Amino acid sequence: MARSRDETKRNQILLTSKSLFADKGFFNTSIADIVRETGFPVGTIYTYFQNKEDIIQKIVEEGWEEFYANLKSIRDSNIPPVEKLRTVIEEIIPELLQDVDLINILLTEAIQYTIIEDKIEKLTDTIDSILQAIPQSKSALTNIPRGFMKTSIVVFFLGILQTAKISKTKVMGITNQDIIDFTKSVISQSVGIKL
Amino acid sequence: MARSRDETKRNQILLTSKSLFADKGFFNTSIADIVRETGFPVGTIYTYFQNKEDIIQKIVEEGWEEFYANLKSIRDSNIPPVEKLRTVIEEIIPELLQDVDLINILLTEAIQYTIIEDKIEKLTDTIDSILQAIPQSKSALTNIPRGFMKTSIVVFFLGILQTAKISKTKVMGITNQDIIDFTKSVISQSVGIKL
Amino acid sequence: MARSRDETKRNQILLTSKSLFADKGFFNTSIADIVRETGFPVGTIYTYFQNKEDIIQKIVEEGWEEFYANLKSIRDSNIPPVEKLRTVIEEIIPELLQDVDLINILLTEAIQYTIIEDKIEKLTDTIDSILQAIPQSKSALTNIPRGFMKTSIVVFFLGILQTAKISKTKVMGITNQDIIDFTKSVISQSVGIKL
Amino acid sequence: MARSRDETKRNQILLTSKSLFADKGFFNTSIADIVRETGFPVGTIYTYFQNKEDIIQKIVEEGWEEFYANLKSIRDSNIPPVEKLRTVIEEIIPELLQDVDLINILLTEAIQYTIIEDKIEKLTDTIDSILQAIPQSKSALTNIPRGFMKTSIVVFFLGILQTAKISKTKVMGITNQDIIDFTKSVISQSVGIKL
DNA sequence: AATGAATGAGTCTTCATTCAT
DNA sequence: TATGAATGAAGACTCATTCAT
C-alpha cells in the first residue's frame, strides 16, 4: 500500500494559512509563504487542497462549523433558557472572540468565499430561539420589538466581531472583556433579566 | 509625480476606482481596470496618484472627511442636544449607509491602508459629546454605564456598517431602513428619550 | 519496472490511452487522465509501461505492426497480383482508415516518437512489389514512371491518411468511402486495369 | 507620446516562434524558449500576443493568408488557364513547400488552433475553378470524374505537404523537386495536357 | 505634460515519476 | 506486487510601475 492521507499535514497547512491570511490578508499571502511557513513542498499543499481559494474556504467553513456546533449544542441542551443565554455570552462568544484569526478572515474574506447569508440566517435563528424561550420579565421596559430581533442580532454580532478584530491590532482602548461585559449588560437590559 | 491639475480627471479616477474597489476588492482590481473604466491612459493615473495604494487611501480619507465634517457641523451647531442626536440618526447615518462603496472599502481595505484608530477615536468622542449634552430622563432604566460608552458606540457603529455592507449584496432580509429604525429605537431606549 | 503480467490490463491502458491521445493529443493527455479513464491506480500504469512516451510508442508500433502484417500477408499470398491490389484497396486500406485514433496518432505524434522512415520504406517496398507483379495493360497511357513510384505511393498514402483524419473531425464533405472510391479510381487508371 | 507598437518586434517573435514550433512542436516549446531565442523580456511577448496559442494562430493565419493570396492572384490574373495551372505548380506550390516550418505547423498544430475546413474549402474551390477553365483535351482518358474533384485535390494537397514535411527531417530519398515533378506529371495526365 | 510600450519579479498551478508502505 | 501520496522543477501568465518619446 502507498502512503495514506495525513490529516496532520492537512491541519498544519490549515493552521498556518489561517494565521497568514489573518495577518497579511488573502491576497498578500502567497502559496510560497505557506510553503515556507509549513516547510512542506508546494506539491503537498496541492495534494490536500484544490487551490488557494479552497484553503480559505475550508478555514472559514470548518471554523464556522465548530462555532455553530457549539452554539447548537447549547440550544439543544437541557439547561434552563436563561442559563443557555448565559453560556452563550460567557463561553461561546468569548471563545469565538479568542480566535482572532478566524474573525479576521470571516469579516474580510469570508464574504467573498462562502455563503455568508446562510450562516447569518442560522445564527439569528438559533439565538432567537434561545431568547424566545426566556419568559419575559414583567418589568422589562426595554424589550426589543419582535420586528427588530433579526436586525439587532445581526448588528450586534457583526459589531462585536468587527470591534474585536480591530482592537486586536489597533490601540482603541477596548478589550475583549469590555466587549463581553458590554454584551452581557445590553442583553440583560434588553431581555429584562439579570445574567 | 502626482501633480493634480485637472480636478475633474482626479475625481473621475477616484469615483471609478471606488466603485471598482467596492465591487471586486482592492486586489482584484487592476490599474488596467481603472484605465479601461475611466478611459484615461495609464500614465494619467500616475499623474494624479502616486500608486495604487495612494488611490484607495485618498478614497477613504476623503470619504471619511466628508462624513466626519458633517458630524462635527451637527455637534457644533446651535440646535438643542436631542435634535443633534436626531439629525445624526436621521440624516448623517443614513447618508453614510447610502454610500455602500465607501462602507465596503472602509470595512475591508481601510484598516490596512489608513489609521483607523484615529477615526474611531474621533467618532466616539464626537458622538459621546452629543450624548453627554442630553439631560438624562429620570425614568431611563437602561442608561449605558459610563464605562461602556465607547465600547457601545464602536460596536454599534461598526455593526450597522457591516450589516449595511452585507445586506447590499446578500439577501438577508434586512434593509437600510430596518437598520435606521433599529438604531433609533435602541438609542431612544438607551438614552431614555423619545426620538 | 514495466513487468507485464496481466495482458488485459495492459490492453486496457493501451486502448484508453490511444483514444485519449487521439482526442486530445499527447500533451493534453495527462497520466491522471489515463488513471481516471482506466480506473487503475497510477502505479499500475508504471507497472506496464516505462513512462508516458513508452505508451504512445507501443500504440504506434503495435498498430503499425498489425497493419503491416496484414499487408505482407496479402503480398505473400497465392492470389493473382491484381487480386492482391484489389484486396489492399478494398480491405487493408479501409480497415486502416477505420482506425481513426491510430491515424491521428500516426500523423501527429508518431513522427516524434517512432522511426517513421523505416515504416515508409517498408510500405512503399511492399506496395511496389505488388504493383510490379501486375502485367501492364498495353493501352495504359498513364503509367506512373518508375522514378515517381516511391513518391507517388508516399504522397498518396499520406494524403489519404491525412484526409481521413481531418474528415473525421471537421465537416469537409468527404467520407471514407469517397477516399476509397477515389483511390480505386486512381489506381485503376494509373495501372491501366479495371479493379 | 509613448513608444509605439513595433512591428519589427512582432515579426521577430513570430519568426522565432515559428521556427521553434516547427522544430520542437508547440508543447515542447516554452514561452521561456521564445524569450531566450528572441532576447525579448517575457512581458514583451505578451505585449504583442495574448497568449501562447495566439502566437501559433497568428503564424498559421498569416502564413496561410500569404499562400492563399498568391493563389488567388494567379486565378484572377489574365493569363491563359493552362498558364495559371503551370504557375501554381511551378511557383506557388514550390514556394509553399519551401516554408517547411509553416507546413509542419499547418499539419500538426493548425488543426487544433484554426478552422482548417474553411481553408480546405477555399483551396479546393480555387484550384477547381482554375482546372474547370481549361478546355479538356479530347484524348484525355484519365480525367478525374467530377465527383472526385474535391477528394482528389484534398488528398493530393495534403499528401504533398505531409511528404515534404517528413522528407525534410527524415531520410526518405524523396526531394522537394521529386514532389514537384510528380505533381506536374500527375496533373498533366489527369487534365490531359502537357505542362 | 501626456502617453502607453516595456519590463521582469513574482504568481498560481501542473504533472510525470518515484518510492514508502 | 500494488498503491497513491509526495515531490519540485517547470510552466504560462500578470501587473504595478517606469520612462522614452
Taking only the tens place, the pLDDT of each residue in B163-193 is 999 998 888 889 999 999 999 988 887 777 7
Q: Which residues, in sequence order, are CB contacts of D53 under 8 Å at separation 6+? A: D113
C-alpha distances (whole Å) from B11 to each of B41, B166, C17, D11 are 15, 27, 59, 41
Average pLDDT over residues C72-91: 93
Would you say residue D191 has pLDDT above 90?
Answer: no
Same domain, B63 and B35: no
Same domain, D5 and D38: yes
Same domain, D98 and D163: yes
Higher-confidence position of D1 and C134: C134
C-alpha distances (whole Å) from D180 to each of A58, B167, C81, C120, D173 are 65, 74, 30, 19, 14
Q: Is the CB of D32 under 7 A from strand E?
A: no
- Is there an interface between B and A (3+ Cβ pairs < 8 A)? yes
How does pLDDT run across B78-132, given as a tens digit for each residue? 999 999 999 999 999 999 999 989 999 998 888 888 899 899 999 999 999 998 8
- pLDDT of amino acid B143: 57
Same domain, C156 and C98: yes
Same domain, C68 and C102: yes
Residue D137 to chain C, least CA–CA distance (Å): 14
CA closest to C171 among chain D residues? D117
Range of the domain at C8: 1-50
Would you say residue C143 has pLDDT above 70?
Answer: no
Q: Is the CB of C13 under 7 A from strand E?
A: no
Same domain, A40 and A59: no
**Is A178–B151 a contact, with Cβ atoms under 8 angstroms apart?**
yes
How does pLDDT run across D108-151, given as a tens digit for each residue? 888 888 999 899 999 999 999 998 888 765 444 445 666 788 99
Same domain, D26 and D85: no
- pLDDT of amino acid A138: 47
Helix (H) or strand (E) holding A162, with range, is: helix A149-169
Q: Which residues, in sequence order, are CB contacts of D69 under 8 Å at separation 6+? A: none
Would you say residue C139 has pLDDT above 80?
Answer: no
CA of D127 to C1' of F15 (A): 49
Residue C75 to chain D, least CA–CA distance (Å): 22
Average pLDDT over residues D42-71: 97
CA of B46 to C1' of F19 (A): 12
Same domain, A16 and A87: no
- pLDDT of amino acid A92: 95
- Separation between Cα atoms, residue A18 and residue C172, nearest integer Å: 56
| Among the listed residues D63, D87, D59, D90, the one whose alpha carbon sits nearest the alpha carbon of residue D73 | D87
Among C161, C162, C172, the residue with its CB nearest the CB of D117 is C172
- Separation between Cα atoms, residue C82 and residue B29, nearest integer Å: 73
| Among the listed residues B172, B128, B165, the one whose alpha carbon sits nearest the alpha carbon of residue A153 | B172
Average pLDDT over residues C92-116: 90
CA closest to B24 among chain A residues? A112
How does pLDDT run across A51-102, given as a tens digit for each residue? 999 999 999 999 999 999 999 999 999 999 999 999 999 999 999 999 999 9
Same domain, B15 and B85: no
- pLDDT of amino acid C137: 59
Q: What is the CATH number of the domain that holds B6?
A: 1.10.10.60
Counted residue by residue, chain A has a size of: 195
CB-based burial label for B103 (10 Å; 0-12, 13-18, 19+)? buried
Classified as helix, coil or strand, C68 is helix
Same domain, C91 and C139: yes
DSSP state at residue C109? I
Same domain, A125 and A146: yes
C-beta atoms surrounding B57 within 10 Å: 17
Please name the residue whose C-alpha is nearest to the C1' of nucleotide F15. B30
Among B142, B159, B178, the residue with its CB nearest the CB of A162 is B159
Q: Show which subunits contact B, needing at least 3 CB pairs below 8 angstroms.
A: A
Q: What percent of chain D has pLDDT over 90?
A: 72
- pLDDT of amino acid C188: 84
Would you say residue A13 has pLDDT above 80?
Answer: yes
Number of domains in chain C: 2
Helix (H) or strand (E) holding B36, with range, is: helix B31-38
- pLDDT interval class at A37 (50, 70, 90): very high
How does pLDDT run across A151-175, given as a tens digit for each residue? 999 999 999 999 999 998 888 889 9
How does pLDDT run across A41-54, given as a tens digit for each residue? 999 999 999 999 99
- pLDDT of amino acid A145: 67
| Among the listed residues B154, C126, B67, C133, the one whose alpha carbon sits nearest the alpha carbon of residue A172 | B154
**Is C169–D121 a contact, with Cβ atoms under 8 angstroms apart?**
no
- pLDDT of amino acid D57: 96
CA of B22 to C1' of E8 (A): 30
Same domain, D9 and D78: no
